[in-house]
Amino acid sequence: MTPPLNAAVVGAAITPVGVWPEETSFGLAARALTAALEDAGLDRSDLDGFVWNLGRPSGEDYEAMLIALGLRARFVNQFWTHGRFTGSSLLVAAMAVTAGLADYVVCVGGTKRQPAPPPVASFAAPALPGDPQAYGPGDPRRHGLTTFVHHAAMSFQAYLALYGVDRDRLADVALAAREHAMRNETAWRREPLTLEEYLASPEIVSPLRALDCFPFGASGSPMNDYGACVIVTRADLAKSLPGTPAYILGGQGVQGGREESAYFGRPGLGLFDQTTSTFEPGEWDRKVYEHAGVEPSDVDAFYTYDAFAPVVWMALERFGHCAPGDAASWVTKERIGPGGSFQVNTNGGMLSQGHTGGWGHIVELTQQLRGNAGPRQIENVGVAQWGTVFGDSVILSNDERRWQR
């Protein structure tokens, strides 16, 4: 049958992730754009579409970025800034080229860390070395369930109570992420991490430890800077460019409603507005496989928005890679880490590469499928999936036959 999307990613790049006082968001974006254009074999003048979900307060809005980068687009779309919309942004780019609204759509941007918001928006975050925004020991602004971290902590607490699993099995998620990051020259946190160091990591909001969370300052804002770029075009145009296209086989958007209200938790935890406390991957959670023409068993590598380590467990369960409640035993460092049989977030994820709004993951899976991942390259990788606890997912492949199904 004719594939529902006529789209492929043909270029991807990310700058080193870290704290770069001398850089601007425009400069970081320009560096990533230049590298992605070189990867794709395109010129800046070829680009005629722009999809964006990293506007203010994390970065600049699309108008300023287009002008600064010297681009002109006949198709523009901007989401609210959040990693929930990373997969949706990529799908909008794919739909735009499929519909003929643009030939080459670029998702590009640079993000600079922002000043701390008012104290009411802070949460318990141990100060990172050199963090000028950190609150001192004993300051009440270091504590409390006042931002998104409480959703993640409460969801994880409910998960532990529902399934009776050992919370410290979560260490394998953080350890695997760090081992991947140690092979990634763009990652911020590349120093070795031991189990003993993980277990000694202080709790932020129980049962979450500091090493279960992405790098942040006392405000809860991402601490790092980066620039990233992904270029999407029609599959027929992709075949005329150098390198292997990463064909977008299919996808699905963020899900919403009462049962989706746990934020950093999947359905079935009975939290907030949810009414149920049981979960099995439903029809909607399998739509992405139907759309892409694959099964979960066809997926060789998995990428997920890992602002908090427990959501890796929950996303794998949501998309049927392991049964509900089984992630604690199924997810081992040996399985999801370097050289494992089902590698997850080979860029190091947010937990170790740094907070990139999910774009570091998209760049990485593209590089894997194009054979450009260097020491992180997965042998014989053919299908890669982006899938999050929020329900959105995109599946890509380097096999044209899968796209032509």
Fold for domain 8-115+222-403?
A: Peroxisomal Thiolase; Chain A, domain 1 (3.40.47)
Instruction: Report pLDDT digits (tens) over 191-242.
Output: 999 999 999 999 888 999 999 998 754 444 557 899 999 999 999 999 999 9
List CB contacts of 197: < 8 A, sequence separation 6 or more: 211
Find the mean pLDDT for residues 311-338. Answer: 96
Task: Please report where in the chains the tokens 């620039």 appear, as a residue.
Answer: 227
Instruction: Enumerate the domain spans of the chain.
Output: 8-115+222-403
The pair phi, psi for residue 66, each rounded to 5°, is: -60, -45
Report how far apart, in Å, the C-alpha atoms of 382 and of each of 86, 249, 400 are: 22, 12, 10
Q: Note whether 231 and 40 are within 8 A (CB).
A: yes
Percent of the chain whose pLDDT exceeds 90:
67
Q: Identify residue 111 by its one-letter amino acid code.
A: T
Q: Note whether 32 and 229 are within 8 A (CB).
A: yes
Tokens read off for 5: 């999307």
Instruction: Report pLDDT digits (tens) over 25-43.
Output: 889 999 999 999 999 999 9
Among 64-68, 124-128, 293-297, 346-350, which stretch is predicted with the lowest mean pLDDT?
124-128
pTM assigned to the model: 0.90
Q: What is the pLDDT of residue 116?
A: 38
Instruction: Report pLDDT digits (tens) over 74-119.
Output: 999 998 777 788 999 999 999 999 999 999 999 987 787 754 343 3
